[in-house]
Amino acid sequence: MEDRIIRTEYSEEMQKSYIDYAMSVIVSRALPDVRDGLKPVQRRTLYDMYELGIRYDKPYRKSARIVGDTMGKYHPHGDSSIYDALVVMSQDFKKGLALVDGHGNFGNIEGDGAAAMRYTEARLRKVTQDAFLADLDKDVVDFMPNFDETEKEPTVLPVKIPNLLINGSEGIAVGMATSIPPHNFGEIIDATKAYMLNEDISVRELMRYVKGPDFPTGGIVTNKDDLLEIYETGVGKIKVRGKVEFEKSKAGKTNVVITEIPYTMIGANITKFLMDVASLAESKKTQDIVDISNQSSKEGIRIVIELKKDADAENFVNLLYKKTRLEDTFGVNMLAISEGRPETMSLKQIIKANVDFQFEIAKRKYTNLLAKEMERKEVQEGLIKACNVIDLVIEILRGSKDRAMAKECLVHGVTEGIKFKSKESKIMASQLMFTDRQANAILEMRLYKLIGLELEALINEHEETMANIYRYEDILDRKESMATVIMNELDSFKKEFNRKRRTLIDNVEEAVYKEKEFEVMDVMFLMDRFGYAKIVDMSTYERNKEAADSENKYKVLCKNNGKICIFTDKGQMHTVKVLDLPMSKFRDKGVPIDNVSNYSSAEEDIVCVSSQSELNLKQLMFVTAQANMKIVDGGEFEVSKKTVAATKLLDDDKVISVMPLYDQKHIVLQSKEGFFLKFSVEEIPEKKKTAVGVRGMKLNTGDTLEAVYYLNYGQEYSIDFKGKILSLNNLKTLKRDAKGTKVRV
């Protein structure tokens, strides 16, 4: 047992194990092979469909059957990865060339997932059969044992087109990732042929044929000049924009209509785009949006944004480019498995690898075909020769005791034991020299083959076989002939499966959004007793001043770029940006102040509302229920936070008054027990907002302040106290911290 123990450094073992794991993920799962452009799960799924006979001209089969068979035979990594691969290969909005024909709900461009595999059906597409799987029976690629060595699977599919460039690929491995954009079918075919005609061709010259990526979603590539470097190095960033059109609505408004989206916006990012556009309106980045609707359907993308009549549509679109994913970046990293290892490749390297692979499979294909034609030629020549001496052959067959004796005579001229009609026949039979394969064909030949027309057909077939042999030998002996065959095949694929380019390639200037100059103006903040707040312009307020004053509890003159400060009985100050409040018509209800601030009407009561600009010029008087008082400089409340502590409170105390000071001369404090104390404002000291303050009035045990009154110089001030008119001016002026005067009714 001790001999089995391996002593090693833990760090070395971990490093080796992790590297093995990483390479397994890189090679066996995440990255495509440069030759067929497929990841293992895609290759295995397509091969399984080929094995099951699910051809393009045959009925669809349940996706669950395909997934189960693939998992059981070739890919034991779970059904979800196989079905996901099957779904993606059927989605023409993700793939430049869909490889699977899906029947049922296979998802959509807006991110809705495919139905469960038990509900959907699939089959191969014609292009997949013709260009990916056609020559699997001709020994053109190597096969390897599957995971449990009960089946054989191809190491690579004999793909006859540069699929890695046509369909692109995305995958994340361990420590590396691939991101290859899809391209136009016809352009890639033309570039491949150009390389075959001139192997010294440069990437710049190849780009005469390959204009750039061709995304299934269309759009516009805006950095054409950067593409050369990207295709030379295999890495870079491609900037993609959606396509936008302008339409006039019946009401004379301009509609911005998005008809094509960036490739990166496929799926849930369309919903995110709609949310981003809505947030532009909510955050006041733009006030041009009237409505937004997603009218996309099977016919294509159609997102409509309705703008105001006076909106600058061009400028608004530039805002979308700057602030949303209507303009996005596609990161290119053309990483693929080449000769068993990951490699970042240029456009030319990928085409070269594919062309080399085409020559390899063509060589194996035509070597195999030549061998079969040579066998056919051997048999045909034997049958023709046998027909010329058919009487002798029949005599040998009739005179032989068994098949072995007849075959021995046909091959080696052995005549012993065979009964012949004449010595001449025996002598001629001893001179026969058929091959083993020819002898078997003669022995199996049917009598109707002796009919004249059949013999003529055999001769014609032999001539056709000889022509094929000469052709195959020429293809195998001369590289130019093989290249011609490959290029002819590429031309036929292009003719049948090419489509028009969808993505426009151009150099486009960076979008510049000009923000409208913000006009600072006076506005009126109105809030009713139910806590609904709004902003109205001054002309609206002046026209409705009487109603505004009577219907609203708080009215604050402020700037439209300023802040509203809300002081509560809990000693908190909540700020609200005026821009966060709706600019409303006079009869609009407004919004609950709770919705736009941290203030909670269920937990605290409002004591004072003011504008921050007004506070900066004033001092504030704070009075609490326990008669603590102080004056605070308004500049202390110029803060960026939405909520701060405006004052310090003792236990069980609360703020009952916050008042900006103008020219108030005296202050009057009223307790619940009916004590009134009048004294000069000058007796109250200025403190920091974090201070408790000084006592303004001596209170009996259990008594608290109920009201605070401020008297200006020369102003008459009377109140209704328990049904009696009380003139506050007639109260005797005392010192702060006195008990006050008991007013009896």
Supply the residues annotated as catalytic.
119
Question: Which H/E stretch holds residue 459?
Answer: helix 452-477
Amino acid at 224: K
Residues 6+ apart with CB under 8 A from 273: 261, 265, 303, 324, 325, 326
Q: CA 603, CA 727: separation in Å to the nearest integer? A: 35
Q: CA 222, CA 160: separation in Å to the nearest integer? A: 32
Going by C-alpha positions, the residue among 70, 45, 62, 79 that lies closest to residue 122 is: 62
Cα distances from 44 to residues 62, 67, 85, 88, 171, in angstroms, run 17, 10, 10, 14, 17
* 130: its two tokens: 């013709």
**SS3 string of 552-613?**
CCEEEEEECCCEEEEEECCCEEEEEEHHHCCECCCCCCCEEHHHHCCCCCCCCCEEEEEEHH
* 148: its two tokens: 């449990």
Strands 220-221 and 504-505: what pairing? parallel
Q: What does the DSSP assignment read for 483-498?
A: HHHHHHHHHHHHHHH-
Q: CA 372, CA 378: separation in Å to the nearest integer? A: 10
End-to-end CA distance of the chain: 108
Q: Is 508 helix (H, G, I), strand (E, B) or coil?
A: coil
Name the β-bridge partners of 489. Answer: none
